Structure 1
């Protein structure tokens, strides 16, 4: 079996944070007047850390849509991290004691997606090993495999077995078998399942918001064969919310750590038009969704998160970017509650 330890972070694939992007409205400098662009601090991942990062949130961009292109999706998600940072700038700071750092970007050079994913894994691993919470800004959903590998590697040497589970809010399973050896934005969970089998680890995957119009019967068969648990988008209603909540509760009990990924195409296109593959009848960013999100974070087991598929080229009035920013704002509140 091939060696899977991430390489050290290669500066060819790493862009240090550019704090010039963090600018916006200034109401004052008192703690109660701050906005995110006044609160976020830079962090260089290839330099020695001079401060403790325990309990901090680290923003890390993955401006890549090479996997989307390979998967036949609409390119443009490589601009997602920049658009999301811009949408975050003017958010108010309600939790000044929770430090938030921008660690820059892991980039995909010369269409080399495999190496970019290895580099993302190395960056996530370093963040996790310093006790911080990685919040990765995509980019296409090819972010999944590298992000997961970083988490898996970070806990591999901890004492005792750790069961890592992935929760994916998505219209798609993203469990396609790669053509040849080339991964894409739709192969992440097939790759993870393959790794788990080779490493003799259980494969824990819960997909929330799946649509039959977005997945072939073959992909449903793959989900069943790999033991994937899922909830269809049609069950994200007030009357049926016990269905996703029940599976979430059982999933939380079955794992020790949770990697959460939110593909913005899980939401109805009216709320998230700026994505690589819009889902016109997707779920709503309503109370049912946020109660599911809160159940995950209330467990205390979510150790990392990303937001994928923001495509500014197709956004309307920054609607999708603002939705993604509001999700991060909500998550920051949940993380602040831990302290």
Structure 2
């Protein structure tokens, strides 16, 4: 794993249905994400926060809320993530709402194309985020980034990575899904997205789920993890705007992160949708940092 890490704050809730995710980057810093990473021998550069348009909090237009502002933020994220990858560093995007996964993953995909690498994206989330303007009940673009990455969305968004589609659905593994809109469900099936929903995890266990999600990784694979904090059960992670009961437990989440770490392939990370306004004494941010520590090699015992 790359030992040079860059933190990039994206303080916006532009694509969300609740205010507050804009405070997520600072909450993660307050929870000592930088010192935790440094304690594991990583060289950490905090690049500070990106800037972009304020949230105008307007109703949807033609099925999209705040499209112009979402485009601006995603362009900023794309350029920042791409610049860190070009420097040979491991970027961690501190969100911000999950619409920013579009800018982040399109930058990773661009880097992989230029470096001749394969891409695997693990989308840890309660939601499939595969809506379109036709399917969405809300117009909130944080429900659309995976669809946009796969080429289904407004021209201004799907072209951000320079290639349309930015990725194939085949590179994505979605884990922890338990809330999908009816039309979105059909679209996920049509596109062949690989989804390990909570029923699958209940029946087969997190270990088997992660073995499949991580299968066929090799030294030419760039592994990107897009971690939406609402992936976790809200009993342990209340600080998100779109809680869905029945998510992974603390131990299931730890196993997920530890198995990712075991691959040694993690090369970029998003930490999204943390909403301190809905949290209890920064509990969710501290849990997120604890899980990120496992992603970077924390384990109970020495393991080969």
TM-score range, shorter chain: 0.7 to 0.9
> 1:226 Cα deviation (Å)?
1.6
What is the aligned-residue RMSD (CA, Å)? 2.8
Q: What residue is the counterpart of 1:144 in the other structure? A: 101
Q: What residue is the counterpart of 1:39 in the other structure? A: none
Question: Does 1:250 find its partner at 2:215?
Answer: yes
Alignment of 1:124-143 (within 5 A): 124-143=81-100
Of 177, 180, 183 in structure 2, the residue corresponding to residue 210 of structure 1 is 177
Contact 1:95–1:333 (8 Å) recurs in 2: no
Distance in 2 (CA, whole Å) between partners of 1:238 and 1:94 is 38
What runs of 5+ residues in structure 2 fail to find an aligned partner?
A: 56-68, 152-157
Alignment of 1:6-25 (within 5 A): none
Alignment of 1:285-304 (within 5 A): 285-286=250-251, 288-304=252-268
Alignment of 1:224-263 (within 5 A): 224-237=189-202, 240-250=205-215, 252=217, 256-263=221-228
Of 280, 290, 296 in structure 2, the residue corresponding to residue 326 of structure 1 is 290
Change (3 A) 1:252 1:218: farther
Q: Which moved more, 1:108-117 or 1:302-311?
A: 108-117
Distance in 2 (CA, whole Å) between partners of 1:183 and 1:254 is 37
Contact 2:257–2:292 (8 Å) recurs in 1: no
Q: What residue is the counterpart of 2:61 in the other structure? A: none
Question: Does 1:116 find its partner at 2:80?
Answer: no
> 1:143 Cα deviation (Å)?
1.6
Distance in 1 (CA, whole Å) between partners of 2:34 and 2:148 is 38
Could you give the per-residue CA deviations for residues 191-241 of structure 1, whole angstroms, max 9, x where no partner exists? Answer: 111159935963311110011xx2123222221122211112234359623
Q: Which moved more, 1:217-226 or 1:249-258?
A: 249-258
Distance in 2 (CA, whole Å) between partners of 1:316 and 1:275 is 11
Distance in 1 (CA, whole Å) between partners of 2:134 and 2:183 is 15
Distance in 1 (CA, whole Å) between partners of 2:172 and 2:53 is 30
Of 9, 12, 21 in structure 2, the residue corresponding to residue 61 of structure 1 is 9
TM-score, normalised by the number of residues in structure 1: 0.72
Of 191, 194, 197 in structure 1, the residue corresponding to residue 148 of structure 2 is 191
Contact 1:74–1:276 (8 Å) recurs in 2: yes
Could you give the per-residue CA deviations for residues 97-137 of structure 1, whole angstroms, max 9, x where no partner exists? Answer: 42111101122314422011011111101101111100111
| Corresponding residue pairs, total | 272
**More contact order relative to length (CA 8 Å, sep ≥ 6):** 2
Distance in 2 (CA, whole Å) between partners of 1:178 and 1:146 is 18
> 1:331 Cα deviation (Å)?
2.5
Question: Does 1:273 find its partner at 2:238?
Answer: yes
Contact 1:248–1:296 (8 Å) recurs in 2: no
Change (3 A) 1:200 1:312: closer
- SS class of match (2:141): coil
What runs of 5+ residues in structure 1 fail to find an aligned partner?
A: 1-53
Q: What residue is the counterpart of 2:155 in the other structure? A: none
Question: Does 1:307 find its partner at 2:251?
Answer: no
Q: What residue is the counterpart of 1:173 in the other structure? A: 128
* Structure 1 ranges of 4+ moved more than 3 A: 89-97, 195-202, 234-239, 251-255
Distance in 1 (CA, whole Å) between partners of 2:293 and 2:166 is 37
Could you give the per-residue CA deviations for residues 247-288 of structure 1, whole angstroms, max 9, x where no partner exists? Answer: 2133636982221011111111111111010112211121x3
